Amino acid sequence: MRRYGGIRFTADGFDCALPVAVDSHSICSYECLYCFTDNIFGHRESKSSEPGQTSLKTLENIFSGKPGKFADLVRKALKYDNRNENGYPCPIQLGAICDPTDNIERQQGWLLDFIKLCNKYNQPVRISTKGNLFLTDEYLDAISEKPHLYWVAFSIITPDDERLAKIDRYAPSATERLKSMERLSKRGVKTSLRFRPLIPGLSDSTPKHPKAYRELIERAAEAGARAISTEVVFVPGMMTKEMKRKWREIEKITGVPIVQIYKSFGKNQACIRPAYTWTEGIMHAVVEEAKKNGMTVGVSDPVWKQLGETGCCCGILPDDPVFGNWQRESATNRLLEAKETGKEIRSEDIIPEWAYYQTKQGMCSVNAGPRTIYKGRHYTWADELRDSWNDLEKERGALSYFQGALVPVRKEGKEIVFKYKGLERQYLDAPYWKL
């Protein structure tokens, strides 16, 4: 088994509260048509016929406190020296790119050993999965030894098993995922619904499930989900021939010309996000339904962050005794704080301490000319966050990313100060979404 460097700082650090991401292996066997990793060219091009496996020894070195430049920085991001009052560091997110309970895991058994490590060092983990391995006694019993250390978020975009089988091609059905959620919940493991990406013709309504979003949320609540994380689908701005084929298939299944619609939203970007007036109906409907069912709402979508109830878009509350020690220095959390208090926001508010020691190249691959490569090696993640925040044109800038929910109020040198304005809902209905 070849070695895989599946331990990293998430490149979504601008608005993510869980900075350290881990993947068990390098390839996901589910091959969902909309998989966002297709947009991560470096990851896709590095695939080989043999799955790579993340080193458990490297993880134990981190958890145990063994000195090392990378390990020291990971521990800083995980707040090993700033644990909460119950002694827990920041949670790790497992399954950021590849699913840790897919069919490859059935052959590798990596997750069973990873759980043992986390149990040994009391490391909280938020697992993201579409798998059904927790329906087996071996995996259920393993995670049940210390159930309080785990939060399992099940990614499900529709309750329609028939349509889902055409989209999440080799993944278990929504019904099986909900059964897994229920079994874990009964064992004391915290569970949540990752209702993302929301796709018209799948997440809102299908012929056999006319109120699909409502049905899915109700079934997840019945299965024990205590929170929801939600986001409307984005379309890659640059597509290979294979990616174009996949999106044509999605359009055929849903009956919605998604790519054409997204191209109408403005200039082409790496990740084309829809205008907030197009997403407001589905986002409000999902949030309202989740609240009716007693779920904490986390919004991972850049737009409508104001609908979230916590600065952790996974739906984890700050006072959670085990998982609440997440990173506060993120644009999501600061936006919600500004909404609540009226406080103005500067770039320093979204830059965590560890970002001053991490290069941009270490966050995301840099494949360009010598000047760009040099910058990647000497430019820190803090530099990237600061420059993005203060760029009114940049895709990941505070103005563009939140589509006006944050607005600039003045300039202090090179620093732009923002305040919360929020987005006003304009239409009760929107084309293509059936609510």
Task: Please name the helix (run of DSSP H) or strand (run of DSSP E) that holds residue 118, with its range, or none.
Answer: helix 110-121
Alpha carbons 202 and 408: distance in angstroms, whole number: 37
Q: What is the mean pLDDT of residues 23-34?
A: 94
Top pLDDT among 320 and 46 is at 320
Q: What is the pLDDT of residue 51?
A: 83
**pLDDT at res. 2:** 78
* pLDDT band with cut points at 50, 70 and 90 for residue 248: very high
What is the tens place of the pLDDT at every residue in 108-162?
Answer: 999 999 999 999 999 999 999 999 999 999 999 999 999 999 999 999 999 999 9
CB 418 within 8 A of CB 406: yes
Q: Residue 366 has what pLDDT?
A: 43
pLDDT of residue 36: 79
Share of the chain above pLDDT 90, in %: 84
pLDDT at 372 over 60: no
The rounded distance, in Å, linking the Cα atoms of 341 and 231 is 25
Q: Which domains does the chain have, with CATH numbers?
A: 3-334 (3.20.20.70), 343-420 (no CATH)
How does residue 373 score in pLDDT terms, banded at 50, 70 and 90?
Answer: low
Predicted confidence band of residue 262 (pLDDT cuts 50, 70, 90): very high
Span of 103-117, 172-186, 204-218, 265-279 with lowest mean pLDDT: 265-279
Q: How far apart are CA 402 and CA 396, in angstroms?
A: 9
CB 388 within 8 A of CB 397: yes
What tokens were used for 79?
């707040």
Mean of the pLDDT values across residues 87-96?
A: 96
Q: Which range has the worst mean pLDDT, 16-25, 31-40, 153-162, 357-366?
A: 357-366
Distance CA 175, CA 313 (A): 24
Cα–Cα distance measured from residue 228 to residue 206, given in angstroms and rounded to the nearest whole number? 21
94 within 8 A of 128, measured Cβ to Cβ:
yes
Over residues 176-203, mean pLDDT: 98
Task: Report the pLDDT value the prediction gives residue 430, as an integer from 0 to 100.
Answer: 76
State the burial class of residue 340 (Cβ atoms within 10 Å of its Cβ: 0-12, 13-18, 19+).
Answer: exposed
Residues 6 or more apart whose Cβ sits within 8 Å of residue 237: 268, 269, 270, 271, 272
Q: Decide: residue 64, CB within 10 A, 0-12 exposed, 13-18 middle, 19+ buried.
A: exposed
Rounded distance between C-alpha atoms, residue 109 and residue 324, angstroms: 29
Whole-number pLDDT of residue 43:
46
Question: What's the CA gap between 249 and 239, in Å, rounded?
Answer: 14
The tokens describing 305, both together, are 């962050």
Alpha-helical runs (H) found in 126-275: 137-143, 161-167, 174-186, 212-222, 241-254, 258-263
Distance (Å) of CA 151 to CA 148, 320, 378: 8, 11, 36
pLDDT band at 370 (very low <50, low <70, confident <90, very high): low
Using CA atoms, how far apart are residues 140 and 58, in angstroms rounded to an integer?
25
| Contacts (Cβ under 8 Å, ≥6 apart) of 251 | 257, 258, 259
Per-residue model confidence (pLDDT) at position 136: 97
Q: What's residue 45's pLDDT?
A: 45
Q: How many helices (H) and strands (E) does the chain have?
A: 16, 14
Hunting for tokens 């700082």 — which residue is that? 9
**Would you state the pLDDT for residue 433?**
95
pLDDT for 365 equals: 47
Which of 54, 77, 75 is CA-nearest to residue 6? 54
Report the interhelical angle of 276-292 vs 212-222 (nearest 10°): 40
pLDDT in tens, 291-300: 999 999 999 9
pLDDT of 231 strictly over 90:
yes
Per-residue pLDDT of 263-287, as tens digits, reads 998 877 778 999 999 999 999 999 9
CB of 10 closer than 8 Å to CB of 78: no
Contact of 201 with 253, CB cutoff 8 Å: yes
Average pLDDT, the chain: 93
**How far is it, in rounded angstroms, from Cα 420 to Cα 341?**
9
Q: What is the C-alpha to C-alpha distance for residues 24 and 97, in angstroms, rounded to an integer?
A: 9
- Cβ neighbors of 91 (< 8 A, separation 6 or more) are 18, 124, 125, 126, 151, 316, 323, 325, 326
Give the pLDDT of residue 302: 92
pLDDT for res 278: 94
Look at residue 315 in the predicted model and tell me its pLDDT.
Answer: 98
pTM for the model stands at 0.95
Instruction: Name residues whose C-beta falls within 8 Å of residue 273's C-beta, 6 or more positions apart in sequence.
Output: 232, 234, 265, 302, 303, 403
What pLDDT is recorded for position 41?
42
Run of H or E including 72: helix 69-77
Which pLDDT score is estimated for 76? 98
